[in-house]
Amino acid sequence: MSKKSSAENVRWLNPDEERAWRAYRRVMVAVQAATARDLGAVGLSEPDYEVLSTLSERPDHTSTLHEQAAKMRWSRSRLSRHATRMEARGLLRRAPDPADGRGCFLVLTDHGLETLEDAAPAHVTSVRRHFIDRLAPEDLSALERIAEKLEDVED
């Protein structure tokens, strides 16, 4: 199929849809950049914080690499490389997964939990400043409804 014929079959965005899409992208980029900058000031990246906070909520502060990668929508290899860097910093450790010879458990260390506990107040303050406090309760409700509709983008 030529580029021309495939372009003819595209349902292009109308002006209102284009504005909405671009507004969504601007908001995502701006909020993410601001919260990432604030996390960086306390020595963590957004993926670091995601891994640490997720592990902190799990029984025994443990998750399989596969479960964590699925939650973050990362490949196992990408998360494995990131976990290696976090492990070198003492934030987590790996343990063998007897049910999956190729997999492992990611286990939050005491240092990782302390790091998360130290970073959490700054992160929540950042989320409030750059997102929550800028919106009315009805805006937050609308965003929640929208997120539920868009949550599974793989279909």
Kindly give, in sequence order, each residue whose CB lies less than 8 Å from that of residue 133, ignoring residues fewer than 6 positions away: none
CA distances from 2 to 10, 11, 87, 88, 152 (A): 13, 17, 49, 50, 31
The CATH code that applies to domain 18-138 is 1.10.10.10
- Residue 14 CB-density burial (10 A; 0-12 exposed, 13-18 middle, 19+ buried): exposed
Where along the chain do its domains lie? Answer: 18-138
55-104: per-residue pLDDT in tens? 999 989 999 999 999 989 999 999 999 999 999 999 999 999 888 777 89
What are the backbone angles phi and psi of residue 95, rounded to the nearest 5°? -135, 145
Q: What mean pLDDT do residues 7-36 have?
A: 94
Q: What does pTM read for this prediction?
A: 0.84
Confidence of residue 5 (pLDDT cuts 50, 70, 90): low
* Cα distance from N-terminal residue to C-terminal residue, the chain: 24
Residue 15: phi and psi, rounded to 5, are: -55, -40
For 91-129, how does the pLDDT look when each residue is reduced to its tens digit (9 = 90+)? 999 999 888 777 899 999 999 999 999 999 999 999 999
Cα–Cα separations (whole angstroms), residue 84 to 48, 88, 126, 146 = 11, 6, 27, 35
- CA dist 8 and 54 (Å) reads 44
Query: How far is residue 124's CA from residue 41's CA, in Å, rounded to a whole number?
Result: 14
